[in-house]
Amino acid sequence: MYSMLGIHFRRWAWLISPLASFMRIRIYPKSITKESIQESLNNKSVVYVLPRMSIIDTLVLNKALNEFALKKVALEAKPKRFRSSALMAIKTSSLIFSNSSRDSFLSDFVRLIRNDPRAKSEKLIFIPVSIFWSRAPERHEKSFFLRSLFPDDGTGNGLQKLFMLALHRGEVNISFGKIFHSPLIELQNIESNKTDSTTAIATQENTENIETEYENARKMRRLFNIEFAKERAAAFGPVLYDNEKISQWILNSQSTKNFIQSSDNPLKTEQQIVRYIREIGANYNYVTIRALEKVFDFIWTKIFEGVRVRNFEHIERVAKDGQILWMPSHRSHFDYLLLSYVLFKKGFVIPHIAAGINLNFWPIGSILRKGGAFFIRRSFAGNRIYAHTFTEYVNFLLQNSFPVEFFHEGGRSRIGKLLQPKVGMLSICVQSILTRKAENTYIVPVYFGYDKVMEDDTYAKELKGAKKQKENALQFLNGVRKVFSNYGSVDVSFGDPLRIGDIWREYIEKIKKESNSEFHIDPAKALPENLTYLPENFDARDPQVQGFVKYLSKRVNQKINGAATASDTSLLAACLLTSQEKCIQYKSLQFQVILMHYLINSLAKPLNWKISTSSNADNSLSYLMSHYQNNDSESSLISNTEIILSDNISNSIINLANQIFNAGERWSLMKKIKNNNNEFEFTRNDEKEMNLWWYRGTIFHILAPFGIIADILLSEKSHYPVNQLEGKMSSIRRIWQDDLYWDSKTSSQLITQSCLDIFVKLQFIKIENDLIILSKENSILDSLQFLSRIVKPEIELYGIQLATAIELVKEKGSFTRDELIQKTITTHSAAFLRTIAIQPPIFSKVFAQRTFESYFKAGVFIPHKNIKFSLDATSLNAFSDFLDVTLWSDFVP
């Protein structure tokens, strides 16, 4: 079937086999392992399908199969002629010409399906295989000569592939697509999934008809070609255009024509649009991308001890099924570099990145443009031409299927917690998506967890009042010096992707169910749930569309937090900041760190979140139970528990603790001293206190439910009803929504119950007749006190502001935002001077505005007159006792 000059491909493969030693194979998707692929095959017969037959491609395929310990392909797919694996190609090719006139796929496929008994069951499967000899995206302006020498489709003929093999120093990329079954099985799958009827394969009853058999073969070929196209789009991206072509596209769009005609000076407006496109536009360059890859291969090994990628497996398929908008958290300038690096290493095209115009300085600006960055001004206010140009540029990217990345927080978080989204960029993207009714667009949230952030000292200074320094070449040179510093490890964690069509349906259903929608939309006038039926002339300024943007931005933040990774530094910071003593004993700090490890990892599964710690503390439960047993030997709760802490468990816990403590000392977050008993103790570095608050902020939302429950239970002297605790958790969640961003699909009841189950397992509590009975053992009460102190700073901040607001309402009947914030700071200062408030007043200066916004969104602060506000008294009873409002009222001036 597959031969050249009359010689079977197996013999040619033997002749060119020495090339295999020169090849460096990159296998995608990266989640494929030897174990996973063998499990997928499960003793089935496999037909590997190539887009076109190439002998040198079979060499690449066999080398990849060899890495998975799978049998090499040596036969074409003929009925009953192969046992485990065979080869099939959509098109054939020759050594010189990329396509030959003979196309035998249909007849070969029909013959295989008709005569091979394995095709009538699930014993025969097909795996499309894409082999790319280059990952350079096609450029619109490439000349015919270059296009002939370097074909952008990654295939070409044998001579071209040999040339590209030499050019890329032996690097070849191979991608395994999803598994297909025979037409009869695929029919059932397609019908059950209710996919497009155009891809439906004829029913089993008609398979004996020759015409129907060929029709089935053609449709299977179409499915294979779709899979090849998806693989290529994910690896290469769409065709690249220079800024001149983009300018022509934008100027020729109907919206731009209308905009120019409506301006006072059409010619000047057109010229200004072209200038703005040059200011904004990326200059994506594959050579630069490859050079940067090599640079960062070196840099990341110098800066980080490891770059760990988490939860990417569920993204790999999505990235091939639809357009992607990458929306990460923004904690460092490393963020966009790391994400692009990770995606490229995973075999996906680097996205176009919306970067602040402040980064457009020499030499960084030019490098970033060639790496896919396009620049955005901080504000569009008063500049209609720029606003229109930028909107059309983003629309161009999305319409042409470019993946886009942007940080919807607007800037790097100076507090560790996620910032309230700025929806300008997202609104532009949503408008383009809704106009095109592109339901199959996915938003992928990304969380970055750093052991050490390069800018943490800068953030600490800014929180203390220093002005933000403008990025420039001098700062860049200073950053280069830091390349030779070590910042521990970093986790790049991918959250659950949000499909626009599904989120839109979810949002419209929410509007219809809630008569008093938080977006102030009349349910009777709700737009259709299916984007397909959205009116052609819908108004992008419609309150429903703007409400959807806000809803979507909140869901993205929730998904980012739902994929959080607690770094060792963040756990250490949380422990140090909860300590009431200046010095912490080694054993105490070790126990606290391991307790947090256990709580976070135990909470992930019942909530179906992707949260975790960055390092594993194996057998942490045994260690914790041993701690309580040793400290309360007569405990009625644990007297029947026999736990032996082996040397292996003890050593793993000690090694983990030492790893964390060494990092804390290395970065001067704490100091190690010896007490009078010659025992080690730690004291936190007061000069690094604001740095510690930053790291604590990154995981506050994970630890908060345990802290809230612990604080409530400790404040009660009697048994506490479970349903009452769930109600209080819901009320606190409502006012702390911007600090928590818990997934709205996860109920407060489930969060509360999951935490209680963990407390029961640790024997902190018992639950009888829906009443929570608290342990009376001292070591357990100490642990609960430790957990409750995690949320004390937020309790103070929210309690002081609410108490101040209540007193202002009593005095004046209303208040302005600025008045409340200033008076809150004064109240905090008075309480701190009296040693009632633990946190210094600087925290109210930093967080008072954020706290006000949370109260306002929760409906606690309600508009009164003009710019004034009052209180919704009915909502205060649910949480005022938790915030100790009465405690702070005496300090309001």
Output the pLDDT for position 540. Answer: 80
pLDDT at 351 over 90: yes
**CA 307/CA 854 separation, integer angstroms:** 35
- Which residues have CB under 8 Å from 342's CB, separation 6+? 307, 309, 312, 492
801 versus 300: the higher-pLDDT residue is 801
**CA 383/CA 111 separation, integer angstroms:** 66
Region 491-506: mean pLDDT is 96
Residue 142: phi and psi, rounded to 5, are -65, 140
The amino acid sitting at 474 is L
Output the pLDDT for position 200. Answer: 40
Region 106-127: mean pLDDT is 88
Output the pLDDT for position 769. Answer: 92
Output the pLDDT for position 650. Answer: 73
pLDDT at 479 over 90: no
- Segment of 219-228, 624-633, 713-722 carrying the highest mean pLDDT: 219-228
Coil vs helix vs strand at 387: helix
Yes or no: say if 701 and 736 are a contact pair by the CB < 8 Å rule: no
pLDDT at 4 over 70: no
- The position carrying tokens 């999803």 is 178
pLDDT at 643 over 60: no
**CA 197/CA 184 separation, integer angstroms:** 15
Output the pLDDT for position 450. Answer: 96
Output the pLDDT for position 70. Answer: 92
For the chain, percent helix, then strand, then coil, each to nearest 5? 55, 15, 35
Yes or no: say if 90 and 225 are a contact pair by the CB < 8 Å rule: yes
Region 469-474: mean pLDDT is 70
Output the pLDDT for position 189. Answer: 57
- Structure token digits, residue 540: 């992008």
Region 603-622: mean pLDDT is 89
**Residue 809: which of 886, 772, 861 has the closest Cα?**
861
**Residue 567: which of 479, 659, 653 has the closest Cα?**
659
pLDDT at 415 over 50: yes
Region 463-488: mean pLDDT is 74
Query: Which of 98-107, 549-558, 669-678 is least confident?
Result: 98-107
Percentage, residues of the chain above pLDDT 90: 58
Query: Which of 136-150, 282-296, 536-550, 566-580 is least confident?
Result: 136-150
* Per-chain mean pLDDT for the chain: 87
The amino acid sitting at 868 is K
- Asked whether the whole model's pTM tops 0.85, one would answer yes
Percentage, residues of the chain above pLDDT 70: 88
Region 492-507: mean pLDDT is 96
Yes or no: say if 554 and 680 are a contact pair by the CB < 8 Å rule: no
CA distances from 98 to 29, 162, 259, 873 (A): 27, 13, 47, 77
Query: Which of 280-289, 493-502, 693-702 is least confident?
Result: 280-289
pLDDT at 417 over 80: yes
Coil vs helix vs strand at 757: helix
- The position carrying tokens 């909530």 is 607
Output the pLDDT for position 644. Answer: 46
Output the pLDDT for position 727. Answer: 95
Concatenated DSSP letters for 508-546? HHHHHH-TT-TT---GGGPPPSSGGGS-TT--TT-HHHH
**Residue 178: which of 34, 347, 37, 349 has the closest Cα?**
37
Residues 677-700: b if buried by 16+ CB within 10 A, e if exposed: eeeebbebbeebbbbbbbbbbbbb
Output the pLDDT for position 434. Answer: 94
**Cα end-to-end span (Å), the chain:** 92
Taking only the tens place, the pLDDT of each residue in 873-884 is: 888 888 999 999
Q: How many residues in the chain? A: 893
874 versus 636: the higher-pLDDT residue is 874
**CA 551/CA 161 separation, integer angstroms:** 49
**CA 460/CA 688 separation, integer angstroms:** 8
The residues pairing with 863 across neighbouring beta strands, listed in sequence order, are: 869
Taking only the tens place, the pLDDT of each residue in 818-866 is: 999 999 999 999 999 999 999 889 999 999 999 999 999 999 999 988 8
- Segment of 158-172, 298-312, 647-661, 691-705 carrying the highest mean pLDDT: 691-705
pLDDT at 516 over 80: no
Region 763-772: mean pLDDT is 94
Q: Which helix (H) or strand (E) holds 426?
A: helix 424-436
**CA 420/CA 740 separation, integer angstroms:** 11
Region 736-744: mean pLDDT is 96
Taking only the tens place, the pLDDT of each residue in 164-209 is: 788 777 889 999 998 998 776 665 555 555 444 333 444 444 445 6
Yes or no: say if 417 and 846 are a contact pair by the CB < 8 Å rule: no
DSSP state of 412: -
Concatenated DSSP letters for 251-267? HHSHHHHHHHHTSS-HH
- Which residues have CB under 8 Å from 878's CB, separation 6+? 727, 728, 731
User: Which class is 283-499+540-561 in CATH?
Assistant: alpha beta
630 versus 802: the higher-pLDDT residue is 802
C-alpha atoms less than 13 angstroms from C-alpha of 768 in its C-beta half-sphere: 6
Output the pLDDT for position 647. Answer: 58
pLDDT at 676 over 60: yes
**Residue 599: which of 764, 768, 451, 814 has the closest Cα?**
764
Yes or no: say if 389 and 280 are a contact pair by the CB < 8 Å rule: yes
Output the pLDDT for position 622. Answer: 83
